[in-house]
Amino acid sequence: MLRHRTAALIVAAGSGSRAGGDLPKQFSIVAGRPLVAYAVAAFAGHVDEVVVVIGAGQDDLARDALGHDMRLVAGGPTRRDSVANGLASLSDAVERVLVHDAARPFVSPAVIARVLAALDDHDGATPVLTVADTLVRGKGLLGEVVPRDGLHRVQTPQAFRLDTLRAAHAGWPAGDEATDDAQMVRRLGGRVALVQGEAMLDKITYPDDFATAEARLAWESRSAGGFDVHRMEAGEELWLGGVLIPHDKGLSGHSDADVALHALTDALLGTIAAGDIGTHFPPSDPQWRGAASDQFLAHAARLIADRGGRIDFVDLTLICEAPKIGPHRAAMIARIADILHLTPDRVSVKATTTERLGFTGREEGIAAQAIATISLPRTAGRGEA
């Protein structure tokens, strides 16, 4: 099969004036991630290179959103200028370019494949949706109906051969505005294919569109377990579930040895396949000696939040003969809920003995096991190898 070197140009240099808000819309947070990060992630693995066009003064926002390795190009006063700057930055080795609005976060691999396939026998390709509603003219008063037959809503990503799109930009009359690239290629004589678009591709333009985008996100549920044991020793404090419990012995080990919070931390880290507590807080590192374990649990919760995830439920089982957990259960639930920013009905704390059998039965140690269930946004393209 012929290999075409393909670049994705994501235009993110607008001011988002219609969307309002403190930040330009492309940097607003949707389900835990800046909007532009969704589009960038969607193209990764489907093209050879991704370039993001940003506005003046947006460098720090873009670096925070996309990391330091992202290729950034300065945009211009109009979308057309921004695309032109992006095109100029591409090397001549690039044969095909996909131009995409950062304000359309959810790009499926299928739509990328459709526009690229159409490029084989067209000068360009754009996803479109037919218009479903009746269209009318009017200002406050109903005017004439506009026949919707043959009308389409135009979306991105739009695909072109690089030389075709460069020629369209070079030949475009300076004073004319163009809200997308397909109309430019067409006006200069090119044949642009219409391929099936997707509702998920709708652009975020107005304030209400953010809520729609969040609602459109597909979520996946993930559960993972955690397990931990610490030794009981005289002269140690007994921290369990973030609560200091009066007892004749306490747990010894890494940090404050709160076996319950450690099991919960491992369960949460497991849901995002982020290693275990030792990966993040090595026992060999002296700074964690005697450290309060609530910070480990809060760290795991933060990693999940950074991915746009939400903790649905945590369930903890303590395995010990003594102390009795019942009198402390409510305090543990309240403390864990507080650390994880959950309501207490999403935290379960249980306890059991091992009938005086084994190390827990002999009160030589306490074991804890935990299960955490979270929801993670499954954006188009994510999770596919």
Partner from ligand CTP, Mg ion, none binding residue 26, C-beta < 5-8 Å depending on class: ligand CTP
Q: CB under 5 A: which stretch of 9-17, 38-46, 241-249, 353-361 binds Mg ion?
A: 9-17
Q: What is the four-CA torsion angle of 285, 291, 294, 298, rounded to 10 degrees?
A: -30
Residues 176-215 within binding reach of ligand CTP (CB under 6 A):
203, 205
The alpha carbon of residue 30 and the mean position of all alpha carbons in its chain are separated, in whole angstroms, by: 8
Candidates 16-24, 57-65, 66-74, 272-280; binding stretch for ligand CTP (CB under 6 A): 16-24
Distance CA(17)–CA(206), nearest Å, equals 9
Alpha-carbon gap, residue 275 to 319, rounded angstroms: 24
Should residue 78 be labelled a site residue for ligand CTP when binding is judged by CB under 6 A? yes
Q: Which does 196 bind (CB under 5 to 8 A by kind): Mg ion, ligand CTP, none?
A: none
CA distance 269 to 169: 49
Q: How far is the CB of 217 from ligand CTP (least distance, A)?
A: 19
Residues within window 13-72 making contact with Mg ion, judged by CB under 5 A: 14
Question: What sign does the dihedral 149-155-159-163 (CA atoms) show?
Answer: positive
- The count of residues interacting with ligand CTP (CB under 6 A) is 22
For residue 69, give Cα distances in angstroms to 48, 72, 90: 15, 9, 16
Stretch that binds ligand CTP, among 58-66, 69-77, 184-192, 340-348 (CB under 6 A): 69-77
Q: Which stretch binds ligand CTP (CB under 6 A): 98-106, 110-118, 132-140, 331-339?
A: 98-106
If one asks whether residue 34 binds ligand CTP (CB under 6 A), the answer comes out as no
Maximal C-alpha separation, the chain: 87
Number of Cα atoms under 13 Å in the Cβ half of residue 142: 3
CA dist 36 → 72, 125, 343, 377, 385 (Å): 12, 22, 31, 15, 22
Q: Which of residues 103-162 bind ligand CTP (CB under 6 A)?
A: 103
17 binds, among Mg ion, ligand CTP, none (CB under 5 to 8 A by kind): ligand CTP
Tell me whether residue 17 or residue 284 sits nearer to ligand CTP (CB atom).
17
Footprint of ligand CTP on this chain (CB under 6 A)?
11-19, 26, 53, 75-79, 82, 101-103, 203, 205
Footprint of Mg ion on this chain (CB under 5 A)?
14
